[in-house]
Amino acid sequence: MENYPQVLKTPKASFVVSKLIAFGFEFDSQTSTYLYKSKASDFNFEFRILIKDGEYSTKVYDLDSECEYLLHKSHQAQGEFVGRVREYLSNLENKIIKQCALDPMFNTLQATKIIERVQEKYHVKAEFLFGEDEPTAVFRKVVKEKPKWFAFISRCNRKTVTGTGEGKIEILNLRLEASDVDTLITHEHIHRGYHMNKKYWLTIELDTTVDTDMIYALLDKSYQLL
């Protein structure tokens, strides 16, 4: 199993620790908290984002009075200035979520990394064609003006895919040569295609048991076949 980055699950989102550090968060070992500070350029306030496993919070400080500012948390507080404070905090939180959180549709880091990889390398965005109840991220390559599937990520019942176990599992389906499929299904966590032609499609469990670099290589093959 590969050395997998730590993920902090909070009510706001699930954050990848390595991405938090790259963004500029600092770790407080005494409280096991990752802290990010941002100073507004047009008013003398400091905004703090605090993240630890299971917890997410924000604090705003007036640097002139050296006191915590709380008006932005009151629904009754109105006016231009408190509106600017709320807007700054909201923009900061959205930026952090966009750059540091797992994809909101899926729970595994591998799913997020695959979505990012496909968009960066092939300039193909995930298409969510079947709603959000059972999210499925479809990747299609345009061949002779027709979009054709080369991969998709989905969440389904574990037992349906593996034959054992309970709960949900996130999977990646890829189209490959039949000989490749026959060889790869000898891996404990790779199976014949779920809901697809089992001769040419295979299913990979996205739970870190299959190395991410290996998945990328198979993804390349699937894309190039079309």
HEC profile of the chain: CCCCCCEEECCCCEEEHHHHHHHCCEEECCCCEEEEEEECCCCCEEEEEEEECCEEEEEEEECCCCEECCHHHCCCCCCHHHHHHHHHHHHHHHHHHHHHECCCCCCCHHHHHHHHHHHHHHCCCCEECCCCCCCEEEEEEEECCEEEEEEEEEEEEHHHHHCCCCCEEEEEEEECCHHHHHHHCCCCCEEECCCCCCCCEEEEECCCCCCHHHHHHHHHHHHHHC
Domain that holds residue 94: 7-100
Q: What is the pLDDT of residue 118?
A: 92
My answer on whether 87 and 115 are in the same domain is no
Q: What pLDDT is stored for residue 5 in this prediction?
A: 47
Last residue of a domain, one of 76, 100, 124: 100
* Same structural domain, 92 and 183: no
Residue ending a domain, among 55, 82, 100, is 100
Query: Does residue 2 form part of some domain?
Result: no
My answer on whether 134 and 198 are in the same domain is: yes
Per-residue pLDDT at 54 exceeds 90:
no
CATH of the domain at 159: 3.90.1150.30
Number of domains in the chain: 2
Average pLDDT on 7-25 reads 88
113 lies in the same domain as 220:
yes
Q: Write down the mean pLDDT value for the chain.
A: 88
